[in-house]
Amino acid sequence: MTTAVAAPFRFFSLRVAGTMRLGPSLARVTFAGPDLRAFHSDGLDQSLSLFLPHPGQAEPAVPVELGDSWWQGWRELPDDVRAVMRSYTLRALRRGPGGHTAEIDVDFVLHGVEPGSALQAGPAARWAAEATAGDRVLLLGPAVAENRAIRFRPPEDTDLVVIWGDETAVPAACAIVESLPAGTRARVWLEVPHAEDVQEVTTAADAEVTWLVKEAAGGPETALAALRAAGLPPAGQPYVWLAGESGCVKALRRHFVGERGVDRRRVTFVGYWRQGLTEEQLRERG
C-alpha cells in the first residue's frame, strides 16, 4: 500500500521483522514489507516519519485514503485513536534480490524506559521497548533517493568533517561516519546517557570518535565544554554537522562560527528535539 503524499515521499505499510537492545537507552527495530521495494534513499541522515499504533490497536490510524488531505484527516481523529507520529533517522538499509530495499533499521531512544530513569516514558519509547515481530507501523519516507530530508551535505572541497550528536542523533551520526571514505579526516563527538550505550563504529576514514557519557559527566553541559576544550587538526575548509537537542545544537553552532571562525554556510545544524517539549508541542509551534 504505497500512497503518494508529496513527491518524493510516500507512505509505506511495514511490519516489525526483529528487535535488538543496543544498551539501556537504545533499541534497534528492523522493519520489512513488500512496500519497501519503492523505498529509496542515499542519505546517511535520512529523516523519516513513523506512525505507531496505540496499545490495543492492530495498526496505526492514519487516513491515507484521503490522499493529499491525509494530514488534516489525521489531525481530526480523536487523541486516543490518532496514530502516534514521531520523527526518526534511517540507521541502515539492506537490499534484496534485484537491488530493491528489503529491510530498514531505525534506532529508538528509550527515555523513561531504561532502568532507574526519572523520566516519564513517551508513547514511542514504550512502543519500541515492547515491539515484537509482526507489529504493524506506517512510515512516511522517500521514494526518491535524492530528497530534501537529507541534511549531511559536505562541500566537495571539505578537508575536515566535524560531527556532534546526542543520543537522538547517534544513529545518523554512526551511519555517516561508517560511510566516510578512506582519506577523509573526521572528528566526532557522540553523547549518550550511559556507558553501556557506547557502540562500536567501524570506518575506513581517519576518524577519531569520542563518546561523552552524561551519566559520568553529570549533565547537559558536557557537549559545549568538551568541544571548547578539544583541539582540531588544521583545516582550510572544514564542514560541521550538529544534531540533537535544539538548544544545545544552537549553542554549538555559535561556538563553531563565533569562536572557531567556521563559515556559517559550512555548518549544518538540526534540532531533533527541544528540552521540555513533546513532538506534538513542537509541531504546534510550527
Contact 19, 132 (CB under 8 A): yes
Quick check: 186 and 44 in contact, CB under 8 A? no
Q: How far apart are CA 104 and CA 100, in angstroms?
A: 11
pLDDT digits (tens, 9 = 90+) for 239-285: 999 999 999 999 999 999 999 999 999 999 999 998 766 666 555 55
Backbone angles phi, psi at 8, to 5 degrees: -100, 30
Q: Is the pLDDT of residue 67 over 70?
A: yes
Q: Which of 40-44, 215-219, 275-279 has the lowest mean pLDDT?
A: 215-219
Query: Are residues 135 and 81 both part of a single domain?
Result: yes
Q: What is the band of 149 on the pLDDT scale with cuts at 50, 70, 90?
A: very high
Q: Is residue 263 part of a domain?
A: yes
Residue 162 has pLDDT above 60, yes or no: yes
Q: For residue 224, what pLDDT is reported? A: 86
- Given this model, what pLDDT does residue 276 score? 65
- Domain coverage including residue 97: 3-142
> If we measure between CA atoms, which residue out of 187, 184, 181 comes closest to residue 242?
187
Could you tell me if 149 and 177 are in contact, meaning their C-beta atoms sit under 8 angstroms apart? no
137 shares its domain with 167:
no
Residue where a domain terminates, one of 142, 168, 190: 142
Mean pLDDT of 126-136: 96
Q: In the prediction, which pLDDT does 118 show? A: 52
**Does the pLDDT value for residue 196 go beyond 50?**
yes
In a domain? residue 14: yes
Assign 3-state DSSP to the chain and report helix, strand, coil percentages, each to 5. 25, 35, 40
The domain boundary, picked from 142, 177, 210, lies at: 142
**Strand order in 238-245's β-sheet?**
206-213, 185-192, 160-165, 238-245, 267-273
45: pLDDT strictly greater than 70 = yes
Q: What is the DSSP letter of 98?
A: G
Residues 106 and 183 in one domain: no
pLDDT > 60? residue 191 = yes
**Is residue 116 a part of any domain in this protein?**
yes
Spell 188-224 as b/e; 16+ CB within 10 A means b.
bbbbbbbeebbeebebebebebeebbbeeeeeeebbe
* pTM: predicted TM-score of the whole model, two decimal places: 0.90
Helix (H) or strand (E) holding 284: helix 279-284
Residues 6+ apart with CB under 8 A from 19: 27, 28, 29, 30, 128, 131, 132, 133
Taking the alpha carbons of 121, 125, 127, 133 in that order, is the dihedral positive or negative?
negative
Q: How many CA atoms lie within 13 A of 102 on its CB side?
A: 6
Whether 130 and 186 map to the same domain: the answer is no
How many domains, in total, are found in the chain? 2
Percent of all residues in the chain with a pLDDT value above 90, rounded to a whole number: 81
Average pLDDT over residues 154-180: 97
Strands 136-142 and 160-165: unpaired
More confident residue, 176 or 121: 176
* CATH number of the domain residue 196 falls in: 3.40.50.80
What does the pLDDT average to over 143-166? 96
Average pLDDT over residues 195-213: 96
What is the overall mean pLDDT for the chain? 91
Q: Does 174 reside within a domain?
A: yes
Residue 147 lies in a domain: no
**Confidence band for 215, pLDDT divided at 50, 70 and 90:** confident
- In whole angstroms, what is the distance from residue 110 CA to residue 27 CA? 7
SS3 (DSSP) at 198: coil
CA distances from 206 to 45, 188, 198, 199, 262 (A): 20, 11, 19, 18, 21
- Specify whether 27 is located in the same domain as 125: yes
